[in-house]
Structure 1
Amino acid sequence: MNAPQPHSSQQTPRRPLPAVGQRDSFFDNAKYLAIVLVALGHVWEPLRDGSRTMGVLYMVVYAFHMPAFIVISGYFSRSFAFKPHQIKRLISGVVVPYIVFETAYSLFRRWLHDPDAPISLLDPWYLTWFLAALFVWRLTTPIWRSLRYPLAVALAIAMLATVSPKIGNDLDMQRALQFLPYFVLGLCLKPEHFKLVRTRRMRILAVPVFAAALAVGWWAKGNMTTAWFYHRDAAQELGGAWWIGPLMTLGMFGCAVVLTACFFAWVPGRRLWFTALGAGTISGYLLHGFLVKGGIWLGWFDQGWAEGPLGALLCTVAAGTVVTLLCTPPVLKALKVVLEPNLDRFFRPDENAAKAAKTGAPAEGAENRGKVPAGV
């Protein structure tokens, strides 16, 4: 009989954690898959009224795709502390793209749909609300990091927002406040929390959970307005009593967290053909809206070919293919001048970085510069 092997040799070797400055394939995969779901949701929107199945899929996807995206954004914003290089990154990676694409979308709408549409940087339109909200969330990160119960406070603020119809549209603050708990949840998460959902058991459990979500969506279709998933209106504006808003906030937060956890359970952790596309999700996010809105205004989805199951399948495949192409490195490189411009000439030199360069020591906060960016 062979002698038993040492216990250590029987253990399955663990995958090493990414080195400092190295991108994590899991998060790049999650960002890419999330942006594909965003594009699918936008394409399914004009198709949902003619098909109950499309309407159900639309509701289920909208229940968690943006929460998942926002959780990732919050997770990678944990180190934000108003350091010079962080401020510069916030301006170049969030503020400049917001100004450029908010203007571009407004001009696009005036040209193709509504000649009298206003151009206002204070009233985000369509996709640009996320950049405005991310700017607000990132600025408040140090506050959430210092609170003892940040998630509870964020949920309380979101609940109050749903009973405050007079908040207004400036920077789409209603959405920023109602989606705030997901960003704060990301700030509170640690690597071990993601490991808890990335197990075979969780992948198996995710199957009946999504099946139940589809069943609930089948019932909710026609019995519930999808406007609740947009988080852009107070309860009174949706025709409900004020007290429904806080209850819906808690209920939808719970559902979104469960579905997001199931989504993360299915995200592969190894490097795949689409992993590199996770670095270009911001271009896919901001560009696909022109095609979707243009298609709606030009009547593409009203044509005969878009009707029925085959038409819905063709639209789905087309949306996934287009957003994938928009996330590729050539597109990201072509848009770098507006998505991540070099603004060094507009900022004072980072004295801490200069001092570190002279001494050979790492600059303060340098350990986070090479990691996955916190934006889309």
Structure 2
Amino acid sequence: MPPTDAATGKKRRVPLWDNARFAAIVLVVIGHAILRLTPESYPASALYLIIYTFHIPLFVLVSGYFAKTSLDRRGLTRIVTDLALPYLIFETIWTVVQWLVERNDVVNYANPSWTLWFLLALIGWRLLLPLLAVTRYPLAVSVVVSVLAGYLGDIDETFALSRTLGLLPFFVLGWRLRQWRLRDRAVTDYWEQASRRVVVWVRIGAGALFAALIVVASTSVIPLREARVRRFLLFDESYPEIGYDQWWAGGIRLAVIVVAAVFSIAFLALLPRTATWFTPLGAATMYVYLLHTAFLYPLRETGFLAANANTPTLILVLIGSFLLVLLLASKPVRTVFRPLIEPRAAWLLASDPASKRTS
């Protein structure tokens, strides 16, 4: 459980995790923004591979850390209000936009538009976690499910099922980080309270890992592209669709899972453990996630980025992406868009029978 404030008894936010949320959403926006540059720009392609090695797993891991294994009324209500309703709202918006801009008149709520798959996946993970939690080895089971799902071509993007199962190990890993205990404290609690010397050495090791990743990605763009590594990092296709119909193809996903988990934890180790100027913005990641595509969509559709795939454009996109995150996480934006992203659903929800019995 999240720690509580001794004076008020209320749950307090842990800076490390808000820092992680902010860093993860910055990487999400950058990854989406530079995609159109990657075919013609080697630096953009290398950066894309570096980011996608761990940023989606990191986002899922952080979500899993706060997940619960019990689905009580409050938990089910939050699935409806925090995930299902925003999905329906934004999927409707994107359906209208695609009809107006692309003349696409197909209405299909089973296939999420662009980034909306994450909302459906979160629903799936929250529903699956209680089932996995009763097994003896939930993390191992989730890895097996992920690897096996890649062999089945029928598991596709419908209701984001391919990503839900493919990324499941990272959600379970996040949950397990809070469950694994050393002398009655979670592993992450020890990291938050670790000595300065321990932190320095861990960060040196994490920095060395990322230095190696940068070297590999920068010097191997063409081989990695020919091996279709990027498609494995997305977790949204079966192995035969990617071009690997060999029996050992699942071993590639297993390796991707291990590498992504290692770099996700290494990235967490590099983040500040204490509050910073951007820590409060970590609470607004859902606003950034759902709104940033509205700004990137025109750039994607006009072809401007693809036609200007050079280093100066890449630098401008990086700066613009960071500024966009700051804008969308700001209080004025949250105030304006709260009805869409955090809709009040009292009209939809039934009254709680338990409250009636106690009144």
Aligned to 2:289: 285
User: How far apart are the structure 2 equivalents of 1:255 and 1:354?
Assistant: 51
- 1:47-126 equivalent positions in 2, closer than 5 A: 47-77=37-67, 79-112=68-101, 114-116=102-104, 118-126=106-114
Secondary structure of the corresponding residue to residue 154 of structure 2: helix
Taking a change above 3 Å as real, the CA distance of residues 337 and 30 of structure 1, as seen in their structure-2 partners, is same
Aligned to 1:207: 207
Aligned to 2:236: 232
Picking from 328, 346, 349, the partner of 2:348 is: 346
- 1:177-256 equivalent positions in 2, closer than 5 A: 177-190=165-178, 192-195=186-189, 199-223=199-223, 224-225=227-228, 226-256=230-260
1:27 aligns with 2:17: yes
Secondary structure of the corresponding residue to residue 167 of structure 1: coil
For residue 48 of structure 1, what is the amino acid of its counterpart?
T
Q: Give 1:322 deviation, angstroms.
A: 0.6
Secondary structure of the corresponding residue to residue 273 of structure 1: coil
1:173 aligns with 2:161: yes
CA contact (8 A) 1:105 1:290 kept: no
User: How far apart are the structure 2 equivalents of 1:295 and 1:209?
Assistant: 33
For residue 154 of structure 1, what is the amino acid of its counterpart?
S
Give CA-to-partner distance per residue, 1:37-59, whole Å, 9 cap, x none: 00011111111222212211110
For residue 339 of structure 1, what is the amino acid of its counterpart?
I
User: How far apart are the structure 2 equivalents of 1:312 and 1:168?
Assistant: 32
Taking a change above 3 Å as real, the CA distance of residues 84 and 57 of structure 1, as seen in their structure-2 partners, is same
CA contact (8 A) 1:88 1:343 kept: no
* Matched pairs, number: 338
User: How far apart are the structure 2 equivalents of 1:186 and 1:102?
Assistant: 28
For residue 111 of structure 1, what is the amino acid of its counterpart?
L
Q: Give 1:18 deviation, angstroms.
A: 4.9
Give CA-to-partner distance per residue, 1:25-81, whole Å, 9 cap, x none: 11111101100000011111111222212211110100100101101111111x242
User: How far apart are the structure 2 equivalents of 1:240 and 1:165?
Assistant: 12
For residue 217 of structure 1, what is the amino acid of its counterpart?
A
Q: Give 1:334 deviation, angstroms.
A: 1.7
Aligned to 1:145: 133
Q: Give 1:107 deviation, angstroms.
A: 2.1
Taking a change above 3 Å as real, the CA distance of residues 120 and 27 of structure 1, as seen in their structure-2 partners, is same
CA contact (8 A) 2:61 2:170 kept: yes
Q: Identity of paired residues, percent? A: 28
User: How far apart are the structure 2 equivalents of 1:312 and 1:206?
Assistant: 26
Structure 2: tracts of 5 or more residues without a match: 179-184, 193-198
CA contact (8 A) 1:197 1:261 kept: no
User: How far apart are the structure 2 equivalents of 1:127 and 1:168?
Assistant: 15
Taking a change above 3 Å as real, the CA distance of residues 352 and 93 of structure 1, as seen in their structure-2 partners, is same
User: How far apart are the structure 2 equivalents of 1:220 and 1:110?
Assistant: 40
Picking from 328, 331, 334, the partner of 2:330 is: 328
Give CA-to-partner distance per residue, 1:157-210, whole Å, 9 cap, x none: 111111111223320211111011111111211263224556222111111100
1:267 aligns with 2:261: no
**RMSD (Å) for aligned C-alpha atoms:** 2.0
User: How far apart are the structure 1 equivalents of 2:310 and 2:157?
Assistant: 37
Taking a change above 3 Å as real, the CA distance of residues 266 and 195 of structure 1, as seen in their structure-2 partners, is farther
Aligned to 2:181: none
Taking a change above 3 Å as real, the CA distance of residues 309 and 30 of structure 1, as seen in their structure-2 partners, is same
User: How far apart are the structure 2 equivalents of 1:319 and 1:256?
Assistant: 23
User: How far apart are the structure 1 equivalents of 2:11 and 2:191?
Assistant: 24
Aligned to 1:369: none
CA contact (8 A) 2:86 2:343 kept: no
Secondary structure of the corresponding residue to residue 93 of structure 1: helix
Structure 1: tracts of 5 or more residues without a match: 1-15, 359-376
